[in-house]
Amino acid sequence: MAVMTYLEAGKLALAEEMRRDPLVWAVGEDLGRGGVFGQYKGLAEEFGHDRISDAPISESCIMGAAVGAAMMGTRPVVEMRFSDFALCAVDELVNQAAKARYMFGGQTRVPLVVREPIGIWRSSAAQHSQSLEAWYAHIPGLVVVVPSTPADNRALLKAAIRCDDPVVYMEHKNLWGLEGEVPDSDAGVGEVAELGKARVLREGADVTIVSWSAAVHSALAAAGSLAGRGLEAEVVDLRTLWPWDRETVMASVRKTGRLLVVQESVSVAGFGAEVAASVAETLHAALKAPVRRLGAPRIPISYAPPLEDRVRVTEEMIVAAAQEMAAVAA
């Protein structure tokens, strides 16, 4: 085990995959100087500017070039800086990359990774703070990955780079400095995760809390608080939203009889609704309380910290919702 930050784990994963496969390369704005958050620092010195490629400020051009390069056999890693900026390139991603394998009858694939940092991050305001994962989960042909820990940021990014389909890889900006243990494989090149597999981070028998990305840490903190109040919560980190691990979620809810879905993004039409509806449809007879969701209200994220805090899903909110659910069957 090594201890490293979420940012360092992602950088290590990219470097390991570039060393392993000469067809892997990265393209985006500011990569030559290390990326806007420093997540590419030192890579241009090792791999050169042909493989750590600086691009002009044109997200649509970056994405279009990368889609073509992927269809011709390379494995581009596209840096969009912020998920908000990636909307300038959504046509190339959604109408081209996501559909190419289907429209060409399987004769081509698009092994492309699009890194889109998401989430609320120190007064970044409405155009730099969105979590748009549900948009991409809605699109057939796209894989959607949302790592919550340094270990997962290494293992899942490696898996995303090796995937033969386009992957929208959404790292939370507020997690860059998070430290954690990151395991090595026997070969010393790191674990490669299996896409579509959730992880049970804490076991419990009273309520299932399903979450992803940074909200996982609020869920874990809430589970600790609930345990001190006599309520044992099981915390499930989805890790990928498409494909998502229905089996793990269903097994947990069969055990607890209660489901609380926690997301940072806007609750309206969020991915939490997919999880909630699937559980309600499949396990309605086994539920001890109605399924609950927690997410942000449908308003832009403010620059002002007090207003920004009003849209956050907090540990206290999760604790209160879980207690209310437990009281239904009491």
Active site residues: 128
> Does residue 129 carry a pLDDT above 70?
yes
> Does residue 185 carry a pLDDT above 70?
no
Q: What are phi and psi of 48, to 5 degrees?
A: 85, 165
What is the per-residue pLDDT across 36-82, written as a single tens digit (0 to 9) for each? 999 999 999 999 999 999 999 999 999 999 999 999 999 999 999 99
d(CA 315, CA 189) in angstroms, rounded, equals 36
User: According to the model, what pLDDT value does residue 268 have?
Assistant: 96
Best CA proximity match to 65, nearest among 43, 34, 41, 89: 89
Helix (H) or strand (E) holding 271, with range, is: helix 271-283
User: According to the model, what pLDDT value does residue 222 have?
Assistant: 98
Domains by residue range for the chain, with CATH: 2-182 (3.40.50.970), 199-328 (3.40.50.920)
Whole-model pTM?
A: 0.95
The pLDDT-based confidence of 190 (bands split at 50, 70, 90) is confident
> Does residue 330 carry a pLDDT above 60?
no
How large is the average pLDDT for residues 300-326?
94
What's the distance, Cα to Cα, between the start and end of the chain in Å?
Answer: 44
The pLDDT-based confidence of 121 (bands split at 50, 70, 90) is confident
User: According to the model, what pLDDT value does residue 251 have?
Assistant: 98
User: According to the model, what pLDDT value does residue 48 have?
Assistant: 96
> Does residue 238 carry a pLDDT above 90?
yes
* 326: its two tokens: 């437990």
Residue 42 in contact with residue 34, Cβ under 8 Å? Answer: yes
